[in-house]
Amino acid sequence: MKDELINGNDLIALGYPANAVMKECKIILETHLSTLPKEQALEKFKLVLEDTQAFTEDDIWKNVAKILLSKPAKVIIELKDLSKSGTYNIFGQEYIEPGAKQQMQLAMRLPITHSGALMPDAHQGYGLPIGGVLATDNAVIPYGVGVDIGCRMCLSILDIPLYHFDENASKFKRELIAHTVFGAGAPRLKNRADHAVLHDPAFDQVPFLKQLQEKAAMQLGTSGSGNHFVEWGIVKIQDEQNEWNLPTGKYVGILSHSGSRGLGAQVAGHYTKLAEKLCSLPQEVKRLAYLSLDSQEGQEYWLAMELAGNYASACHHDIHQRLVEATGAEVLARVENHHNFAWKEQHGGKDLIVHRKGATPAGKGVLGIIPGSMTAPGFIVKGRGLATALDSASHGAGRLMSRKQALIKNNWNELRSMLKDHNVTLIGAGLDEAPTAYKNINQVMQAQSELVDIVGTFKPRIVRMADA
Protein backbone atom coordinates (compact mmCIF):
# COMPACT_ATOMS: atom_id res chain seq x y z
CA MET A 1 0.00 0.00 0.00
CA LYS A 2 1.58 3.23 -1.10
CA ASP A 3 1.56 6.80 0.11
CA GLU A 4 -1.58 7.05 2.19
CA LEU A 5 -2.20 4.58 4.96
CA ILE A 6 -5.52 3.11 5.91
CA ASN A 7 -6.38 3.73 9.53
CA GLY A 8 -9.09 2.71 11.97
CA ASN A 9 -11.28 5.66 11.06
CA ASP A 10 -11.30 4.64 7.41
CA LEU A 11 -12.58 1.22 8.43
CA ILE A 12 -15.19 2.63 10.80
CA ALA A 13 -16.34 4.87 7.93
CA LEU A 14 -16.85 1.70 5.90
CA GLY A 15 -19.01 0.31 8.69
CA TYR A 16 -16.51 -1.74 10.67
CA PRO A 17 -17.25 -1.99 14.40
CA ALA A 18 -14.77 -0.40 16.78
CA ASN A 19 -13.90 -3.64 18.53
CA ALA A 20 -11.35 -6.46 18.45
CA VAL A 21 -11.72 -6.69 14.65
CA MET A 22 -9.48 -3.62 14.35
CA LYS A 23 -6.48 -5.53 15.62
CA GLU A 24 -6.99 -8.27 13.01
CA CYS A 25 -7.43 -5.69 10.25
CA LYS A 26 -4.17 -4.04 11.23
CA ILE A 27 -2.33 -7.37 10.98
CA ILE A 28 -3.73 -7.95 7.47
CA LEU A 29 -2.85 -4.43 6.42
CA GLU A 30 0.72 -4.91 7.51
CA THR A 31 1.25 -8.45 6.26
CA HIS A 32 -0.87 -8.76 3.11
CA LEU A 33 -1.98 -5.35 1.84
CA SER A 34 1.11 -3.27 2.37
CA THR A 35 1.81 -2.97 -1.36
CA LEU A 36 -1.76 -2.26 -2.46
CA PRO A 37 -3.00 1.27 -3.30
CA LYS A 38 -5.36 2.64 -0.66
CA GLU A 39 -8.47 2.50 -2.86
CA GLN A 40 -7.96 -1.12 -3.70
CA ALA A 41 -7.27 -2.08 -0.11
CA LEU A 42 -10.43 -0.27 0.98
CA GLU A 43 -12.38 -2.12 -1.74
CA LYS A 44 -11.18 -5.38 -0.27
CA PHE A 45 -12.27 -4.39 3.26
CA LYS A 46 -15.62 -3.32 1.85
CA LEU A 47 -16.08 -6.65 0.12
CA VAL A 48 -15.28 -8.58 3.32
CA LEU A 49 -17.79 -6.51 5.25
CA GLU A 50 -20.52 -6.96 2.64
CA ASP A 51 -20.01 -10.68 2.08
CA THR A 52 -18.50 -11.77 5.39
CA GLN A 53 -19.85 -15.32 5.14
CA ALA A 54 -17.70 -15.96 2.04
CA PHE A 55 -14.51 -15.30 4.01
CA THR A 56 -15.02 -17.58 7.00
CA GLU A 57 -12.67 -20.20 5.45
CA ASP A 58 -10.30 -17.69 3.85
CA ASP A 59 -6.75 -18.12 5.18
CA ILE A 60 -6.17 -14.39 5.44
CA TRP A 61 -9.61 -13.06 6.36
CA LYS A 62 -11.15 -15.83 8.48
CA ASN A 63 -10.34 -14.14 11.82
CA VAL A 64 -11.87 -10.87 10.67
CA ALA A 65 -14.92 -12.70 9.33
CA LYS A 66 -15.32 -14.61 12.58
CA ILE A 67 -15.31 -11.45 14.68
CA LEU A 68 -17.67 -9.65 12.29
CA LEU A 69 -20.13 -12.53 12.49
CA SER A 70 -19.88 -13.29 16.19
CA LYS A 71 -19.74 -9.80 17.60
CA PRO A 72 -22.26 -7.50 16.07
CA ALA A 73 -21.39 -3.93 16.96
CA LYS A 74 -22.82 -3.11 20.36
CA VAL A 75 -25.00 -0.05 20.23
CA ILE A 76 -24.11 2.25 23.08
CA ILE A 77 -27.13 4.23 24.21
CA GLU A 78 -26.44 7.94 23.99
CA LEU A 79 -26.87 10.29 26.91
CA LYS A 80 -28.98 13.38 26.49
CA ASP A 81 -27.13 16.59 25.84
CA LEU A 82 -26.61 18.64 29.02
CA SER A 83 -28.83 21.39 27.64
CA LYS A 84 -31.71 18.93 27.21
CA SER A 85 -31.29 16.90 30.39
CA GLY A 86 -33.33 19.20 32.59
CA THR A 87 -32.27 20.46 35.98
CA TYR A 88 -32.72 18.81 39.33
CA ASN A 89 -33.15 20.46 42.69
CA ILE A 90 -30.46 20.19 45.34
CA PHE A 91 -31.35 20.59 48.99
CA GLY A 92 -28.52 21.46 51.35
CA GLN A 93 -26.18 22.34 48.49
CA GLU A 94 -23.37 23.32 50.88
CA TYR A 95 -23.25 19.91 52.58
CA ILE A 96 -22.96 17.85 49.41
CA GLU A 97 -19.65 16.73 47.89
CA PRO A 98 -19.05 17.47 44.17
CA GLY A 99 -18.88 13.76 43.29
CA ALA A 100 -22.51 13.22 44.30
CA LYS A 101 -23.67 16.16 42.17
CA GLN A 102 -21.69 14.87 39.19
CA GLN A 103 -23.33 11.46 39.53
CA MET A 104 -26.76 13.06 39.74
CA GLN A 105 -26.03 15.20 36.69
CA LEU A 106 -25.09 12.08 34.71
CA ALA A 107 -28.26 10.29 35.85
CA MET A 108 -30.29 13.27 34.60
CA ARG A 109 -28.91 12.66 31.10
CA LEU A 110 -30.26 9.12 30.75
CA PRO A 111 -32.84 8.90 27.95
CA ILE A 112 -35.40 7.48 30.42
CA THR A 113 -34.97 10.22 33.04
CA HIS A 114 -37.89 12.54 33.67
CA SER A 115 -36.75 14.45 36.76
CA GLY A 116 -34.58 14.20 39.84
CA ALA A 117 -33.60 15.67 43.18
CA LEU A 118 -30.68 15.46 45.57
CA MET A 119 -31.22 15.27 49.34
CA PRO A 120 -29.01 17.11 51.88
CA ASP A 121 -27.35 13.90 53.13
CA ALA A 122 -26.18 12.99 49.63
CA HIS A 123 -22.78 11.44 48.98
CA GLN A 124 -21.19 9.39 46.22
CA GLY A 125 -22.39 5.85 45.62
CA TYR A 126 -22.41 3.25 42.86
CA GLY A 127 -24.49 4.52 39.97
CA LEU A 128 -26.97 6.88 41.54
CA PRO A 129 -25.59 8.81 44.54
CA ILE A 130 -26.84 7.95 48.03
CA GLY A 131 -29.49 10.60 48.70
CA GLY A 132 -30.44 10.64 45.02
CA VAL A 133 -34.05 10.61 43.80
CA LEU A 134 -34.66 9.84 40.14
CA ALA A 135 -38.00 9.66 38.33
CA THR A 136 -37.94 7.70 35.10
CA ASP A 137 -40.36 6.82 32.36
CA ASN A 138 -41.43 3.16 32.47
CA ALA A 139 -37.97 1.80 33.32
CA VAL A 140 -36.23 0.71 36.49
CA ILE A 141 -32.52 1.05 37.33
CA PRO A 142 -31.45 -1.73 39.73
CA TYR A 143 -28.56 0.42 40.98
CA GLY A 144 -30.97 3.34 41.30
CA VAL A 145 -32.59 1.29 44.08
CA GLY A 146 -29.28 0.17 45.51
CA VAL A 147 -27.63 -3.05 46.60
CA ASP A 148 -29.65 -3.34 49.79
CA ILE A 149 -33.15 -3.40 48.33
CA GLY A 150 -35.75 -2.35 50.89
CA CYS A 151 -33.19 -1.01 53.35
CA ARG A 152 -35.52 0.64 55.83
CA MET A 153 -36.33 2.08 59.23
CA CYS A 154 -38.83 0.85 61.78
CA LEU A 155 -39.75 2.57 65.03
CA SER A 156 -42.04 1.07 67.67
CA ILE A 157 -43.29 3.40 70.39
CA LEU A 158 -43.93 1.38 73.55
CA ASP A 159 -46.04 1.66 76.68
CA ILE A 160 -43.09 1.05 79.03
CA PRO A 161 -42.70 3.77 81.67
CA LEU A 162 -39.39 5.63 81.43
CA TYR A 163 -38.47 4.92 85.03
CA HIS A 164 -38.95 1.19 84.39
CA PHE A 165 -36.55 1.37 81.46
CA ASP A 166 -33.97 3.28 83.48
CA GLU A 167 -34.20 0.97 86.48
CA ASN A 168 -33.89 -2.13 84.32
CA ALA A 169 -31.38 -0.90 81.74
CA SER A 170 -29.24 -4.02 82.11
CA LYS A 171 -32.22 -6.27 81.34
CA PHE A 172 -33.04 -4.23 78.22
CA LYS A 173 -29.42 -4.55 77.15
CA ARG A 174 -29.47 -8.32 77.74
CA GLU A 175 -32.65 -8.75 75.70
CA LEU A 176 -31.23 -6.64 72.88
CA ILE A 177 -28.21 -8.96 72.73
CA ALA A 178 -30.37 -12.08 73.03
CA HIS A 179 -32.87 -11.17 70.31
CA THR A 180 -30.80 -9.51 67.61
CA VAL A 181 -28.32 -11.09 65.22
CA PHE A 182 -25.62 -9.08 63.45
CA GLY A 183 -22.87 -9.86 60.97
CA ALA A 184 -22.55 -10.40 57.22
CA GLY A 185 -24.06 -13.72 56.22
CA ALA A 186 -25.19 -14.39 59.78
CA PRO A 187 -28.07 -16.85 60.06
CA ARG A 188 -30.92 -16.56 62.50
CA LEU A 189 -30.36 -18.19 65.84
CA LYS A 190 -32.18 -21.22 67.19
CA ASN A 191 -35.85 -21.25 66.21
CA ARG A 192 -36.52 -21.56 62.53
CA ALA A 193 -38.51 -18.63 61.26
CA ASP A 194 -41.86 -18.87 59.63
CA HIS A 195 -43.51 -15.91 58.04
CA ALA A 196 -45.93 -15.39 55.16
CA VAL A 197 -43.23 -13.59 53.16
CA LEU A 198 -41.25 -16.84 52.96
CA HIS A 199 -44.17 -18.37 51.04
CA ASP A 200 -44.62 -15.43 48.70
CA PRO A 201 -45.74 -16.63 45.23
CA ALA A 202 -42.88 -14.59 43.72
CA PHE A 203 -40.50 -17.37 44.81
CA ASP A 204 -42.30 -19.64 42.35
CA GLN A 205 -42.99 -17.04 39.67
CA VAL A 206 -39.37 -15.98 39.23
CA PRO A 207 -36.96 -18.91 38.79
CA PHE A 208 -34.00 -16.89 40.05
CA LEU A 209 -35.75 -16.32 43.38
CA LYS A 210 -36.39 -20.01 44.09
CA GLN A 211 -32.77 -20.69 45.01
CA LEU A 212 -32.84 -17.81 47.52
CA GLN A 213 -35.89 -19.00 49.45
CA GLU A 214 -33.94 -21.15 51.91
CA LYS A 215 -31.36 -18.43 52.59
CA ALA A 216 -34.18 -15.97 53.19
CA ALA A 217 -35.72 -18.32 55.76
CA MET A 218 -32.34 -18.74 57.47
CA GLN A 219 -31.76 -14.99 57.72
CA LEU A 220 -35.21 -13.74 58.62
CA GLY A 221 -35.06 -11.36 61.56
CA THR A 222 -31.32 -10.69 61.29
CA SER A 223 -29.76 -7.26 60.88
CA GLY A 224 -26.58 -7.72 58.81
CA SER A 225 -23.70 -5.29 59.08
CA GLY A 226 -22.44 -1.88 57.96
CA ASN A 227 -24.57 0.96 59.29
CA HIS A 228 -27.40 -1.31 60.40
CA PHE A 229 -28.54 -1.18 64.02
CA VAL A 230 -31.20 -2.03 66.55
CA GLU A 231 -31.53 0.27 69.53
CA TRP A 232 -33.55 1.13 72.60
CA GLY A 233 -34.09 4.81 72.98
CA ILE A 234 -36.31 7.61 74.15
CA VAL A 235 -39.01 8.87 71.81
CA LYS A 236 -40.19 12.41 72.31
CA ILE A 237 -43.52 13.22 70.68
CA GLN A 238 -43.82 16.97 70.18
CA ASP A 239 -46.67 17.23 67.66
CA GLU A 240 -49.95 17.55 69.55
CA GLN A 241 -51.84 16.61 66.39
CA ASN A 242 -50.03 13.25 66.04
CA GLU A 243 -52.05 10.50 64.34
CA TRP A 244 -51.95 8.16 67.29
CA ASN A 245 -53.48 10.70 69.68
CA LEU A 246 -50.53 10.13 71.97
CA PRO A 247 -50.03 12.76 74.63
CA THR A 248 -46.90 14.77 73.86
CA GLY A 249 -43.92 13.69 75.94
CA LYS A 250 -41.42 10.90 76.30
CA TYR A 251 -41.78 7.19 75.52
CA VAL A 252 -39.48 4.19 75.32
CA GLY A 253 -38.98 3.00 71.76
CA ILE A 254 -37.23 0.48 69.55
CA LEU A 255 -35.58 1.78 66.41
CA SER A 256 -34.11 -0.54 63.78
CA HIS A 257 -32.26 0.00 60.51
CA SER A 258 -31.61 -2.88 58.12
CA GLY A 259 -32.59 -4.30 54.77
CA SER A 260 -33.20 -7.45 52.81
CA ARG A 261 -29.95 -9.26 53.66
CA GLY A 262 -28.62 -11.86 51.23
CA LEU A 263 -31.92 -12.11 49.37
CA GLY A 264 -31.92 -8.48 48.26
CA ALA A 265 -28.18 -8.39 47.65
CA GLN A 266 -28.40 -11.37 45.28
CA VAL A 267 -31.40 -9.89 43.48
CA ALA A 268 -29.60 -6.56 43.07
CA GLY A 269 -26.45 -8.23 41.77
CA HIS A 270 -28.26 -10.50 39.34
CA TYR A 271 -30.49 -7.86 37.79
CA THR A 272 -27.76 -5.23 37.64
CA LYS A 273 -25.62 -7.64 35.61
CA LEU A 274 -28.58 -8.46 33.41
CA ALA A 275 -29.36 -4.77 32.92
CA GLU A 276 -25.74 -4.03 32.01
CA LYS A 277 -25.89 -6.79 29.42
CA LEU A 278 -29.17 -5.61 27.91
CA CYS A 279 -28.63 -1.87 28.21
CA SER A 280 -25.21 -0.66 27.10
CA LEU A 281 -24.51 2.80 28.41
CA PRO A 282 -21.32 4.85 28.18
CA GLN A 283 -18.64 3.63 30.59
CA GLU A 284 -19.10 6.46 33.12
CA VAL A 285 -22.78 5.60 33.67
CA LYS A 286 -22.81 1.87 33.00
CA ARG A 287 -23.99 1.22 36.58
CA LEU A 288 -27.19 3.09 35.73
CA ALA A 289 -28.21 0.36 33.27
CA TYR A 290 -31.98 0.07 33.24
CA LEU A 291 -34.70 -2.45 32.42
CA SER A 292 -37.90 -1.52 30.64
CA LEU A 293 -40.97 -2.38 32.68
CA ASP A 294 -42.45 -3.79 29.47
CA SER A 295 -39.67 -6.38 29.30
CA GLN A 296 -39.70 -9.79 30.94
CA GLU A 297 -36.52 -8.89 32.85
CA GLY A 298 -37.94 -5.57 34.08
CA GLN A 299 -41.13 -7.22 35.31
CA GLU A 300 -39.09 -9.92 37.07
CA TYR A 301 -36.91 -7.32 38.77
CA TRP A 302 -39.97 -5.41 39.93
CA LEU A 303 -41.48 -8.55 41.44
CA ALA A 304 -38.16 -9.49 43.09
CA MET A 305 -37.67 -5.94 44.38
CA GLU A 306 -41.12 -5.91 45.97
CA LEU A 307 -40.44 -9.30 47.54
CA ALA A 308 -37.12 -8.05 48.96
CA GLY A 309 -38.96 -4.99 50.33
CA ASN A 310 -41.59 -7.14 52.03
CA TYR A 311 -38.87 -9.42 53.36
CA ALA A 312 -36.92 -6.49 54.83
CA SER A 313 -40.13 -5.30 56.46
CA ALA A 314 -40.76 -8.76 57.90
CA CYS A 315 -37.22 -8.82 59.33
CA HIS A 316 -37.87 -5.59 61.26
CA HIS A 317 -41.24 -6.78 62.52
CA ASP A 318 -39.71 -10.05 63.70
CA ILE A 319 -36.97 -8.21 65.62
CA HIS A 320 -39.44 -5.80 67.21
CA GLN A 321 -41.86 -8.57 68.12
CA ARG A 322 -39.19 -10.57 69.93
CA LEU A 323 -37.97 -7.54 71.88
CA VAL A 324 -41.50 -6.50 72.74
CA GLU A 325 -42.36 -10.00 73.99
CA ALA A 326 -39.13 -10.31 75.96
CA THR A 327 -39.79 -7.06 77.82
CA GLY A 328 -43.54 -7.38 78.21
CA ALA A 329 -44.21 -4.18 76.31
CA GLU A 330 -47.18 -3.12 74.16
CA VAL A 331 -46.72 -1.25 70.89
CA LEU A 332 -48.58 2.07 71.01
CA ALA A 333 -47.54 3.27 67.57
CA ARG A 334 -45.27 2.33 64.70
CA VAL A 335 -43.53 4.37 62.02
CA GLU A 336 -41.62 2.70 59.20
CA ASN A 337 -40.38 3.37 55.70
CA HIS A 338 -38.13 2.01 52.98
CA HIS A 339 -35.33 4.33 51.92
CA ASN A 340 -33.77 2.17 49.18
CA PHE A 341 -36.60 1.36 46.79
CA ALA A 342 -38.55 2.30 43.67
CA TRP A 343 -42.23 3.21 43.55
CA LYS A 344 -44.82 3.75 40.83
CA GLU A 345 -46.04 7.29 41.50
CA GLN A 346 -47.78 10.13 39.73
CA HIS A 347 -46.01 13.47 39.57
CA GLY A 348 -47.47 16.39 37.66
CA GLY A 349 -50.15 14.04 36.32
CA LYS A 350 -47.58 11.70 34.81
CA ASP A 351 -47.01 8.07 35.78
CA LEU A 352 -43.38 7.68 36.78
CA ILE A 353 -40.98 5.24 38.39
CA VAL A 354 -39.46 7.05 41.35
CA HIS A 355 -36.15 5.64 42.60
CA ARG A 356 -35.14 6.66 46.10
CA LYS A 357 -31.63 5.47 46.91
CA GLY A 358 -31.04 6.61 50.43
CA ALA A 359 -34.04 8.93 50.50
CA THR A 360 -37.19 8.91 52.63
CA PRO A 361 -40.62 9.10 50.97
CA ALA A 362 -42.10 12.44 52.03
CA GLY A 363 -45.40 12.81 50.19
CA LYS A 364 -47.87 15.13 51.89
CA GLY A 365 -48.76 13.69 55.30
CA VAL A 366 -46.57 10.60 54.87
CA LEU A 367 -44.73 9.59 58.05
CA GLY A 368 -41.12 8.49 58.08
CA ILE A 369 -38.03 8.08 60.24
CA ILE A 370 -34.74 9.88 59.62
CA PRO A 371 -32.04 8.53 61.95
CA GLY A 372 -29.16 10.67 63.23
CA SER A 373 -26.27 8.68 64.66
CA MET A 374 -25.56 6.63 67.78
CA THR A 375 -25.37 9.85 69.81
CA ALA A 376 -27.43 12.27 67.68
CA PRO A 377 -31.23 12.20 67.65
CA GLY A 378 -33.29 10.68 64.86
CA PHE A 379 -36.49 12.39 63.68
CA ILE A 380 -40.05 11.21 63.20
CA VAL A 381 -41.12 13.27 60.22
CA LYS A 382 -44.24 14.03 58.24
CA GLY A 383 -43.79 14.78 54.55
CA ARG A 384 -44.78 18.13 53.10
CA GLY A 385 -45.07 16.72 49.57
CA LEU A 386 -42.74 19.18 47.89
CA ALA A 387 -42.94 18.58 44.14
CA THR A 388 -39.41 19.83 43.40
CA ALA A 389 -38.06 17.26 45.88
CA LEU A 390 -40.20 14.55 44.24
CA ASP A 391 -41.94 14.00 47.61
CA SER A 392 -38.69 12.97 49.28
CA ALA A 393 -36.33 13.79 52.14
CA SER A 394 -32.93 12.59 53.38
CA HIS A 395 -32.52 9.10 54.83
CA GLY A 396 -30.24 10.19 57.63
CA ALA A 397 -27.46 12.60 58.40
CA GLY A 398 -25.32 11.21 55.60
CA ARG A 399 -21.68 10.27 55.75
CA LEU A 400 -19.10 12.98 56.24
CA MET A 401 -16.16 10.58 55.96
CA SER A 402 -15.74 7.38 54.00
CA ARG A 403 -15.46 4.26 56.14
CA LYS A 404 -11.75 4.03 55.47
CA GLN A 405 -11.22 7.69 56.34
CA ALA A 406 -13.30 7.32 59.52
CA LEU A 407 -11.21 4.36 60.72
CA ILE A 408 -8.11 6.51 60.48
CA LYS A 409 -9.47 9.79 61.85
CA ASN A 410 -11.64 8.54 64.72
CA ASN A 411 -10.38 6.99 67.93
CA TRP A 412 -11.97 4.95 70.69
CA ASN A 413 -11.15 7.36 73.52
CA GLU A 414 -13.04 10.13 71.79
CA LEU A 415 -15.93 7.80 70.92
CA ARG A 416 -16.16 6.42 74.48
CA SER A 417 -16.25 9.94 75.83
CA MET A 418 -19.02 10.95 73.39
CA LEU A 419 -21.08 7.89 74.35
CA LYS A 420 -20.68 8.74 78.04
CA ASP A 421 -21.70 12.36 77.46
CA HIS A 422 -24.86 11.19 75.69
CA ASN A 423 -25.63 8.38 78.14
CA VAL A 424 -25.44 5.79 75.35
CA THR A 425 -24.47 2.14 75.85
CA LEU A 426 -22.89 0.69 72.71
CA ILE A 427 -22.71 -2.97 71.79
CA GLY A 428 -20.51 -3.75 68.81
CA ALA A 429 -19.79 -1.20 66.03
CA GLY A 430 -16.48 0.10 64.75
CA LEU A 431 -14.89 3.53 64.46
CA ASP A 432 -16.28 3.78 60.91
CA GLU A 433 -19.71 4.22 62.52
CA ALA A 434 -18.62 6.81 65.11
CA PRO A 435 -20.90 9.88 65.17
CA THR A 436 -18.01 12.04 63.93
CA ALA A 437 -18.14 10.12 60.62
CA TYR A 438 -21.57 11.62 59.96
CA LYS A 439 -22.85 15.06 59.01
CA ASN A 440 -24.59 17.20 61.59
CA ILE A 441 -28.19 15.96 61.62
CA ASN A 442 -29.52 19.33 62.80
CA GLN A 443 -27.99 21.08 59.79
CA VAL A 444 -29.37 18.38 57.51
CA MET A 445 -32.86 18.78 59.03
CA GLN A 446 -32.59 22.55 58.63
CA ALA A 447 -31.69 22.09 54.97
CA GLN A 448 -34.87 20.08 54.41
CA SER A 449 -37.34 22.12 56.44
CA GLU A 450 -39.37 22.59 53.24
CA LEU A 451 -39.54 18.83 52.74
CA VAL A 452 -40.68 17.52 56.12
CA ASP A 453 -42.26 18.64 59.39
CA ILE A 454 -40.91 17.19 62.62
CA VAL A 455 -43.39 15.13 64.63
CA GLY A 456 -40.94 13.91 67.27
CA THR A 457 -37.42 12.75 68.01
CA PHE A 458 -35.65 9.56 69.04
CA LYS A 459 -32.59 9.62 71.31
CA PRO A 460 -30.60 6.35 71.26
CA ARG A 461 -29.81 4.86 74.69
CA ILE A 462 -28.71 1.24 74.08
CA VAL A 463 -27.32 0.70 70.59
CA ARG A 464 -26.35 -2.55 68.95
CA MET A 465 -24.44 -2.79 65.68
CA ALA A 466 -22.29 -5.44 63.99
CA ASP A 467 -18.86 -5.97 65.56
CA ALA A 468 -15.99 -4.12 63.90
Considering the candidates 270, 317, 395, 422, report the single residue annotated as catalytic.
395
Closest CA to 381 of 243, 259, 234, 256: 243
419 Rama class: left (phi>0) / alpha (psi -120 to 50) / beta: alpha
In whole angstroms, give the CA distance from residue 396 to residue 370: 5
Q: Is 225 in the site for DNA (CB under 7 A)?
A: yes
Q: Which of 224, 361, 430, 435 binds DNA (CB under 7 A)?
A: 224
Residue 215 lies near DNA (rule: CB under 7 A): yes
Residue from 258, 392, 394, 448 in contact with DNA (CB under 7 A): 258
Window 268-287: contact mask with DNA (x via CB under 7 A): xx------------------
* Three-state DSSP state, 403: helix
Beta-bridged to residue 188, according to DSSP, are none
CA 282 and chain centroid, separation: 21
| Residue 135 binds to DNA (criterion: CB under 7 A) | no
- Closest CB 26 distance from DNA, rounded Å: 29
| All residues at 6 or more sequence positions from 409 whose CB lies less than 8 Å from its CB, including other chains | 401, 436, 437
Among 54, 76, 82, 184, binds DNA (CB under 7 A): 184
| Residue 140 near residue 355 (C-beta atoms within 8 A) | yes
Nearest to 181 by CA among 150, 221, 152, 214: 221
Residues 146-175 that bind DNA (CB under 7 A): 147-148, 151
Q: Is 395 annotated as a binding residue?
A: yes
CB 220 within 8 A of CB 188: yes
Nearer to DNA, 265 or 434 (CB): 265
Query: Residue 431 interacts with DNA (CB under 7 A)?
Result: no
Q: Beta-carbon neighbour count of residue 384 at 10 Å?
A: 19
User: Which CB sits closer to DNA, 232 or 438?
Assistant: 438
How would you classify residue 394: left for phi > 0, otherwise alpha for psi between -120 and 50, otherwise beta? beta
| Residue 339 assigned as binding residue | yes
- Contact pick of 86, 183, 249, 328 for DNA (by CB under 7 A): 183
- CA 224 distance to own-chain centroid: 15
Other CB atoms within 10 A of residue 189 CB? 11
Residue 259 beta carbon to DNA: minimum distance, rounded to whole angstroms: 6
Residue selected from 185, 249, 282, 328 as contacting DNA according to rule CB under 7 A: 185
Q: Is 340 marked as a binding-site residue?
A: yes
Yes or no: say if 380 and 458 are a contact pair by the CB < 8 Å rule: yes
State yes or no: is 195 an active-site residue.
no
Identify which of residues 115 and 124 has a Cβ nearer to DNA in the complex. 124
Q: Any residues with CB less than 8 A from the CB of 72 and at least 6 apart, and which?
A: 17
Sole window of 10-18, 55-63, 183-191, 376-384 interacting with DNA (rule: CB under 7 A): 183-191
Task: Give yes or no for residue 228 binding DNA (CB under 7 A).
Answer: yes
Binding residue numbers for Mn(2+)? 148, 228, 257, 339
Residues binding DNA (CB under 7 A): 147-148, 151, 183-186, 215, 219, 224-228, 258-259, 261-262, 265, 268-269
Active site residues: 395
